[in-house]
Amino acid sequence: MRYLSSPKPLLCRELVGRQHELWALGEALEQAARGQPQFVLLAGEAGVGKTKLCRVFMQASQAQQALVLFGQAISQDQALPFAPFLDAFRRYFSTASGRLALAKSSLLQANFAFLLDLLPELAPLFAAVGSPTFEAAGPAVQRQQALFHRVLAGLEAMAEVHAGPLLLVLEDLHWADETSLELLAFLAQRLAVNAAPLEPSTPLMILGTYRREALPESPALNSLLLQLHAQRHASEMRVAPLSFADHWSCLNSILEQPVSEPFAHLLFDWDEGNPFFLEELLEALAASEQLQLRQDAWQISPDIRPRLPPSVTTAILERFVRLPAVDQEVLCYAAVIGRIFDFPLLATLCQLDERQLAAVLSRAVNAQLISEVNYTQPFLPAHKEQERYQFRHALTRETIYEQMLASERRLRHQRVAETLESLATEAPPPGVVPAIQRDNAAQLLAEHYWLAGLPAKARPHALHEAERASRLFAFREERYYLNMVQMSLPEESPERFQLLERIGMLSLGIYDFADALDRLAMAEAGYQRSGQPYRALQCLANMLLPSWFLASTSLPDMLTELETAAEAAFAQPDHANRGVETLMITSQIAIYRTAECQFRRALRWIERSMALYEPLSDPRKVPALQLSVLSRGWIKAHQHASLAEEGIAEMRNVLKVAIQYHLPDVLLFGNAWLALTLIYWGRGDEAEKVLAESIDFEARSGLPHPSYVIGWQRFFSGERWEEGIPLLRGEMQRMQLAPVPALVATTGLPLVHLLLARNELDEARRHLPRIQPIVESLDQYVFPAQLRWGLAKLQMAQGNLPQAQASYERILKSWKATEDTLVILPMLLDGIVLYAEVGNRVKARQWLAELEAVVRGTDNPVGGAALLEAQGIVQAKEGQLKHAREALGQAVEAWGKLKWGYQQALACQRLAEVLLTWASTGAVGRAARQAAREEADRRLDQALAVYERLQIPTGIQAVQAFRSSTHLEAQHKRRRTLATRQTMQGLTQREVQVLSQLAAGRTNREIAMALSLSEGTVELHVSHILAKLDCETRTQAAAYAIAQGWVNKLST
């Protein structure tokens, strides 16, 4: 393990999440360049990224030939007149380009000579001027105005000499001196900035920045802003904190690699999208060695709290300690309550009357530590509003909280909890909002009693909140409060073991598989110690799924142990151990044997589950049975169509029960299996609905949806590949960071097949070595078969046909050891295609026989379409072209009905090849030959449209090459011309040419000259056009042609 080293600063070196602001600034500069002066203000809190935005914009402006001046106001110079302007002029004239411009331009020397009074160090640059031309004479106001005019003249001269736009950037105007702010108001007034002048003015853009929280301490800036906005002389752009997505990108950029979503959320909860705070937090984490590299990703445990960096705490505590002692006490209680706190609760805690507390909070607002939460609603009386305040930033609250001693925090939490409990039982006066909302009371009491070190008092409230979260399917929150409850119980408490088991199942539902294994293992050990072996076995059964997701090699041994124990229970004649615990175990065994497509073996355990279920009166038997019912539904889906329909109905019902009883493992299997069943039965629209419902449920519960199934639906449907590929890439990356190895592999499988279809071989090759060892460790049938299918495709694309054949033979061998009739269908078809192409008709027929047997036993429409295509391919290789043509034609129609667009395109291409081969035989008449060629052309068009939409270059090239080699291209062009003419209402080619000239507004004479016709012929064509288009005038005909898009078509 290595730690992040400090020598390399943890800084975000790119601009993230400010594209809109950068674009708006660019637009303002373009307007300035056109002679419309602009004044833009960037407002935002400290550290939000105003400076970085300015720097990037300055660089972009220089690249566009703008002259950029940069000045900065600093807190020490607030009494120095013109400080930011002088800083800008000093910086510019100290550069080589500034000195050169001044030396070459007498205009600049004359207009900036006033600087000699203000910046004597620049005197060597003004040797030609001799002495200052600005003399301080007259009243102070006149002298100031004269100097303002000199600054304006200097800027105008600078723009003139540069012959391009001038950008003046002034940062931190909240620290600017009053004279500088008055000068800004003068420039805005004189240049009429942000207005459209009658004639081009100085190409100047002024860009200023300031901190919004500093406005109360800068009345002069406040006054300037009011004046500018009243006169519309400035536009203000608020630089807001980063969104979570942009914050995550910023974090990735800082660490120069992707980081996990939980880690990003942890930091976002602290820094609230402020990039400076993010950088400082990361530095603090690195310094304390809490930021570590684990499994190729920087991660931090959610249980560890980042330490506040001194750069953040110092500025906050400086404002805090300047407040009176009573104010500090009030804010300490507010920090203990939380980020948001209620006025009545705080008044009760601090024993202050309302006026005293209002004064304290007012001072805290002025110190920029807190702000009022405005929940005002229309027509709601003021006395019925909840008076709330919040710390301006989460780090403000955290800083004040952390500066207290641990004992102070504990005692204050206890006081808060006791006060909350008292207020929750009191009834407020009629019409007055209660000091605490009862809906939130349990949550607050659980938190505060827990932090007060009183877990027994926190327990009932935490349990109440856990049950509430359960009803809302908020699995993460339910786990949080249940963990609080179990930690409050004695270590050997039976109730604690039950809670650990429940927490493990919740962790399973939110894909925290490592935590699920840990909690279930703790529960299993506890049950063993307390003499409850079957409860321990139930925990072991529940450990199967997280072990599978983590690609644990111990999974087969665990399954064997469970089967042995269950067999022993059924061998006992007294039925002593045939309770709900045994039912849970038999259901778990059933689901795993079903997943292996070992249906006969699985049915044995399903039947035992059903036998156990009937006599039980324990209400837990319903959820315990659902995995068995789901397994039975999946097995039925592999049978004949009538039974498959029953299986689909059973799976749908299982999902309803799983939602009712909050069964995350059942939902994980159920959503995936139901959607896959519908896909492989050609019911893609229904599968889309199931997947959409799972995504919606994820938003409510946190239970992830089966993204890999979405990948297969995209692949087979031939729809939205441009959306599916990035989705699968993102899911793979997310699962890698989680880390969940099995989902990395299962999500990668459809991605690989999509990439191979698009001939993106390099990326497919990169994914396969990462996927292969994980898939092989899963020791199942479905995923290894899909992996070998992908390897075979890659080997074919690389021309390695022997290896491809070996891969297909391994698929066939593993499949014949199972009872699968769904997943194998497209693989059997592709195997037949391979053997037909290499000329191995014996193997092709052997594989075709296997496909025929599956279709005969299931009557599956997907299998039927695959069989038609396979028969056509084999018949074509055997020279039975008429039969091949019929079979492939039916396959095209069948794939179309099933909405398997990609497979339909492949069938279209194969049908076209057969049609052209048949048309080239001598026994075919001319009319039949022509009809076959035209149909082939249409089928190629159909395939080409799909290939172009899905961006499949090999398919596009194959169609184009085939057209060229069979001389279809000329026929295709003729057909396209006829089709175009037909869409133009029977106009001849010459009439279309005349119509195009009409639409261009030409006279008959001009048309005759352009087309080398006589005027009489043109007149005749015009009369024909009007008749065919049913128009009365030339103008109507021209307008109609333009509206129909014919003119554009013709000109192209």
Query: What does the pLDDT look like over 450-495, one tens digit per residue?
Result: 999 999 999 999 999 999 888 887 888 899 999 999 999 999 999 9
| pLDDT value, residue 466 | 93
- Please give the pLDDT value at position 380: 41
Give the whole-angstrom CA distance, residue 981 versus residue 1044: 13
Give the pLDDT band (50/70/90) at residue 793: very high
The fraction of the chain above a pLDDT of 90, given in percent, is 50
In CATH, 857-979 is 1.20.210.10: no
CATH number at 984-1051: 1.10.10.10
718: alpha, beta or left? (left if phi > 0; alpha if psi -120 to 50): left
Cβ count within 10 A of residue 1015: 13
Whether residue 175 has pLDDT greater than 80: yes
| CA separation for the pair 657, 666 (Å, rounded) | 9
Evaluate if residue 1051 carries a pLDDT over 50: no
Q: Is 399 helix (H, G, I), strand (E, B) or coil?
A: helix
> Which of 242, 326, 304 lies closest to 279, judged by CA?
242
Most confidently predicted of 228-237, 415-424, 814-823: 814-823
β-bridge mates for residue 41, sequence order: 208, 236
The pLDDT score that the predictor gives to residue 184 is: 92
Q: Please, what is the Cα angle at 543 between 542 and 546, to 5 degrees? A: 110
Strands 166-171 and 67-72: parallel
- Note the pLDDT tens digit of each residue in 524-576: 999 999 999 888 988 998 898 899 889 888 888 888 988 888 888 788 766 55
Instruction: Tell the burial category of 970 from Cβ atoms under 10 Å away from its Cβ (0-12, 13-18, 19+).
Output: exposed
Question: Among residues 587, 577, 489, which one has the least CA distance to residue 535?
Answer: 577
> Predicted confidence band at 378 (pLDDT cuts at 50, 70, 90)?
very low
Q: Within 10 A of 499 (CB to CB), how many other CB atoms are there?
A: 23
Which H, E and C letters describe 187-215, residue by residue?
HHHHHCCCCCCCCCCCCEEEEEEEEHHHH
- Digit-coded pLDDT (tens) for 67-108: 999 999 887 777 788 889 998 998 888 888 888 888 777 788
| pLDDT, tens digit, 9 for 90 and up, residues 946-980 | 999 999 999 999 998 888 888 776 655 555 555 55
- Identify the residue with better confidence: 689 or 199: 689
Average pLDDT value for the chain = 87
CATH number of 310-455: 1.10.10.10
More confident site: 6 or 521: 521
The tokens 């059964």 sit on which residue? 541
Q: Helix, strand, or coil here: 530?
A: coil
Q: What pLDDT sits at residue 574?
A: 62
Q: What is the mean pLDDT of residues 162-170?
A: 91
Ranges 237-246, 356-365, 437-446: which has the least confidence: 437-446
User: Which pLDDT belongs to residue 867?
Assistant: 98
pLDDT at 147: 86
pLDDT digit string, tens, across residues 35-53: 899 999 999 988 889 989 9
Which range has highest mean pLDDT (317-326, 362-371, 430-439, 818-827)? Answer: 818-827
pTM, entire model: 0.67
Q: What is the mean pLDDT of residues 575-586?
A: 79
Whole-angstrom distance, CA of residue 951 vs CA of residue 954: 9
Mean pLDDT, residues 307-320 taken together: 82
What pLDDT is attached to residue 5? 41
965 phi and psi angles, rounded to 5 deg? -70, -25
Low-confidence winner among 12-26, 58-72, 212-226, 820-834 (lowest mean pLDDT): 212-226
Q: What band does 438 get if pLDDT is binned at 50, 70 and 90?
A: low
Task: Say if residue 132's pLDDT is above 60.
Answer: no
- Tell me what the mean pLDDT of segment 618-631 comes to: 95
Average pLDDT over residues 202-218: 88
Contact 387, 373 (CB under 8 A): no
pLDDT score at 141: 65
Instruction: Give mean pLDDT, residues 240-251.
Output: 90
Which helix (H) or strand (E) segment is 568 a member of? Answer: helix 555-571
- 251's enclosing H/E stretch is helix 244-255
Residues 758/952, Cβ–Cβ less than 8 Å: yes
53 contacts 47 by C-beta, under 8 angstroms: no
Which comes out higher in pLDDT, residue 193 or 345?
345
Per-residue model confidence (pLDDT) at position 376:
44
The β-bridge relationship of strands 292-294 and 204-211 is unpaired
d(CA 783, CA 382): 63
pLDDT above 60: residue 794: yes
Residue 428 has pLDDT above 70, yes or no: no
| Cβ–Cβ under 8 Å, residues 585 and 538 | yes
Q: What is the pLDDT of residue 78?
A: 76
Cis link prior to 739 (omega < 30° from 0)?
Answer: yes
What is the reported pLDDT for 1049?
Answer: 44
The CATH number that domain 19-238 falls under is: 3.40.50.300
Say whether pLDDT at 236 is over 70. Answer: yes
Among the ranges given (501-510, 731-740, 758-767), the one the predictor scored with the smallest mean pLDDT = 731-740
Q: Does 300 score more than 90 pLDDT?
A: no
Q: Give residue-wise pLDDT tens across range 408-422.
A: 999 999 999 999 988
